Structure 1
Amino acid sequence: MPRLITAALLGALSLTACAQAPQPPAKQEAAAAPAPAPQLKPGQGATPDERARSAVAQLNPRAQVDYVGAAPLPGFREVIAGGQLLYISDDGRYLMQGAVIDLQQQEDVMQNSAALAQYRTKLIATIPHGEKIVFAPPNAKYTVTVFTDIECGYCRKLHEEIAEINRQGIAVEYLAFPRMGLGSQDHKDMISVWCAPDRKRALTDAKAGKSIPSRDCKNPVTMEFDVGQRVGVSGTPAIFSAEGIQLGGYLPPTALRAKLDELAAKKAPAAAAGAAP
């Protein structure tokens, strides 16, 4: 059971995304691994925040807790660990991951977590715009970030529709996420794409199955892969709104536009309320 719970911290794979290959720990990390943390008991800690942290450490001592705060659900703390959102009871005994539906508001409060969205937005913002491969229409209404792989079938399908996505008023900012892992041929091929003189052409050719010249240079592929893991990407494509909301894996252009319109409609009343005197 502990193994299953630890695996849950890695998140569920989308049915419209290509799964990431398991990533074995690096040899050098294994050699320098710290001594095992002492066994923690459920509820250890003087405060709900401390008990939430100890609960995560009990399941996975290596998991990095990036945020702990009050959850919308009374009696629980909201925790971001490994890019995943968890609810842990104030006594540190119970953990929830998945969907928590607010029946009054008719929404999934975990999916719409402001803390998780802000965390993702800040991480993605650490990547300079010039390191992204951007397909944008004039005067785009929306911009999405897409963690992509050149081998994934769903990534290729999404890119086949990039012109229609742009016609929907959506700019796509691609970040590299070689799902086979660092050091793989997939990783090397994506470096070749990001080192090409014309990145957009190289990415389009690679996603079409065409061979591209092998290249190497100072590139952001490893950095973008790391950011993807930290925001909880477990498969590609992974599409995020400008506000840090994960919109899905693959989505058809009209469905993507509909989701963005829905987010904008929900955001408008909140913005108006904030601007009111």
Structure 2
Amino acid sequence: MRLLTIKTATRLIFSLSFFASIALAADYTKLEAGLARINPDIKALSIEPTPMEGMYDIVLNTGDQIYMHEDGTFFFAGSMFQNPIGARLVNLTQASSLKKTLIAMQSDAAQKAWVFPAKGEKKASITIFTDVDCFYCQKLHAEMDQLNGYGIEVRYLAFPRAGLQSSSYQVLVDSWCAQNPNEFLTQAKLRSHNKQSPQDSPELCDNPVAAHYALGEVIGVTGTPAIVLDSGQLMPGYVPAEEMAKRLGIL
């Protein structure tokens, strides 16, 4: 567990706005004091009760998730399971993660996406955190017609793996600001695949690339492509178009 402050101010600002919908409505003085004893820089972005009496699910400003007793004297990091009598085992950590991802996908940043619409009836939608110089992002993008043909709408969010000072970040900004963003992004991936220099940059505009990157970090994206389903499930890595259609129940 990283007991450190978060990496960038951008991420902190996004995290605070994202978790504003999970307000700290109750008095959690003992929990907050317990966090301060671990590290004075650690703050709770959200605190929610779990089915285990006296135990709380806490998301920290480091991006970590922990469970802490209500008196602040015991905590652990890892997965929590509920083992009910006469029912199936429940992964509470996974359920919590799905919930937070669903909330993130409703944020203003997530709504600003490159959208490649389904052909004909839309049967499903997927959101993909992407980069322009990632081989498997390029491979997945080459199957766009096939994905759209299955009735799958593809929404792209930017995740420049090398960070916000990288050349890929600038290309993603250029793609957003282009007169035809989808075409520019398609060409950017193709040119990167073919080892060609980037296209000429359009005039700079307000863009969501940094916010996309921060959102990805908040929900646990560590590489690209990273695919988010409407259920909130995060699927890291490349999935072929036909396999994706099967997983979505289309084929």
Where does residue 224 of structure 2 map in the other structure? 236
Counterpart Cα distance in 2 of 1:252 and 1:9: 37
Match of 1:154 among 130, 136, 153: 136
Counterpart Cα distance in 2 of 1:144 and 1:167: 14
Match of 1:176 among 144, 150, 158: 158
Counterpart Cα distance in 1 of 2:43 and 2:139: 34
After superposition, where does 1:45-84 map in structure 2 within 5 Å?
49-59=28-38, 61-73=40-52, 76-82=55-61, 83-84=63-64
State the 1:112 CA deviation: 2.5
Distance verdict in 2 for CA 1:9–1:167, change over 3 Å: farther
| 8 Å Cα contact 1:6/1:60 also seen in 2 | no
After superposition, where does 1:211-226 map in structure 2 within 5 Å?
211-215=198-202, 216-226=204-214
Where does residue 116 of structure 2 map in the other structure? 135
Where does residue 98 of structure 2 map in the other structure? 117
State the 1:249 CA deviation: 3.2
State the 1:123 CA deviation: 3.1
| 8 Å Cα contact 1:9/1:81 also seen in 2 | no
Counterpart Cα distance in 1 of 2:136 and 2:80: 24
Where does residue 6 of structure 1 map in the other structure? 2
| 8 Å Cα contact 2:224/2:236 also seen in 1 | no
Counterpart Cα distance in 2 of 1:94 and 1:182: 34
Worse-superposed segment, 104-113 or 190-199: 104-113
Worse-superposed segment, 97-106 or 231-240: 97-106
Where does residue 108 of structure 1 map in the other structure? 91
Q: Which amino acid aligns with 1:236?
A: T
Q: Which amino acid aligns with 2:68?
A: I
Distance verdict in 2 for CA 1:213–1:72, change over 3 Å: farther
State the 1:173 CA deviation: 0.8
Distance verdict in 2 for CA 1:168–1:107, change over 3 Å: farther
State the 1:79 CA deviation: 2.0
User: Over aligned residues, Cα RMSD in angstroms?
Assistant: 3.5
Q: Which amino acid aligns with 1:117?
A: L
State the 1:128 CA deviation: 6.4
Unaligned stretches of 5+ in structure 2? 13-25
| 8 Å Cα contact 1:142/1:171 also seen in 2 | yes
State the 1:7 CA deviation: 6.8
Where does residue 42 of structure 1 map in the other structure? none
Aligned residues: 224
| 8 Å Cα contact 1:155/1:237 also seen in 2 | yes
Worse-superposed segment, 90-99 or 238-247: 90-99
State the 1:101 CA deviation: 7.6
Query: What is the identity percentage for the equivalent residue pairs of Structure 1 and Structure 2?
Result: 29
Q: Secondary structure at the match of 1:88?
A: strand
State the 1:174 CA deviation: 0.6
Q: Which amino acid aligns with 1:78?
A: D
Unaligned stretches of 5+ in structure 1? 11-22, 30-46, 263-277
